[in-house]
Amino acid sequence: MKILLHTCCAPCTIYPLERLREKGFAVMGFFYRHNIHPFTECMQREAALREYAQSMDMKVIYQQEYDLEGFLRKMVFREAERCRICYYERLFTTAKLAKKGEFDSFSSTLLFSRHQNHALIADIGAAAGKAAGIPFHYEDFRTGWETGRDKSIEMQMYRQQYCGCIYSEKERYYPQRKNP
């Protein structure tokens, strides 16, 4: 069973890769870049994934384009809805690629994160699969959250401090005003 795994970063890939291989899947990764800002941060995450994937003998398709402008255009005036749009863009792109590459299914490391909207990702994954004509493999990888996190620390892997887009970077670092 060939599965295309959308991989948001190296640390989030550790546990899903382990689980899927245990289940007998032949896993190939897909690194999507448009939502990771700025470009230097994107390159840092990609480098960490390249190093990890090589050590695990996992093949990965690395997106060549970097459409920051296109990403921002989709979000303007819809900032509050941005994660829904971002999930769909990432999962639908993965689904189409999986279909074209004749994979049996596709999935995402987003299902590993405790910081993401898990139910929404599951819904959007299923919808993207339906639209592209390929099954979405749903699994709650959050059960391995500690395992994955501890291994990434052990391996001294680069661990990012915000989700990806410039909006999330602001939310992480801009001092929040407290009510007087």
Residue closer to ligand SF4 (CB basis): 19 or 82: 82
Q: Where are the beta strands (DSSP E) in the chain?
A: 2-6, 26-31, 59-62, 105-108
- What is the DSSP code string of 93-133? HHHHHHHHTT-SEEEEGGGG-SSS-HHHHHHHHHHHHHHHT
Contact call for residue 168 and ligand SF4 (CB under 6 A): yes
Residue closer to ligand SF4 (CB basis): 127 or 155: 127
Residue closer to ligand SF4 (CB basis): 112 or 167: 167
Of the candidate residues 19, 33, 82, 137, the single one contacting ligand SF4 (CB under 6 A): 82
Contact call for residue 98 and ligand SF4 (CB under 6 A): no
Contact call for residue 163 and ligand SF4 (CB under 6 A): yes
Contact call for residue 164 and ligand SF4 (CB under 6 A): yes
CA distance 83 to 58: 28
Per-residue binder mask for ligand SF4 (CB under 6 A), 19-38, x = binder: ----------------x---
Element of type H or E holding 174: none
- Least spacing, CB of residue 170 vs ligand SF4, in Å: 10
Q: Is the dihedral of CA 122, 3, 110, 169 positive or negative?
A: negative
| Residue that is written with structure tokens 């391996």 in the block | 155
Q: CA-CA distances (angstroms) from residue 156 to 32, 80, 81, 152, 175? A: 23, 34, 34, 6, 28
Per-residue binder mask for ligand SF4 (CB under 6 A), 33-62, x = binder: --x---------------------------
Which region, judged by CB under 6 A, interacts with ligand SF4, from 15-23, 53-61, 80-88, 99-107?
80-88
CA distance 91 to 127: 9
- Least spacing, CB of residue 37 vs ligand SF4, in Å: 8
Determine phi and psi for 79, rounding to 5 degrees: -55, -35
Residues contributing to the site for ligand SF4 (CB under 6 A): 35, 82-83, 86, 163-165, 167-168
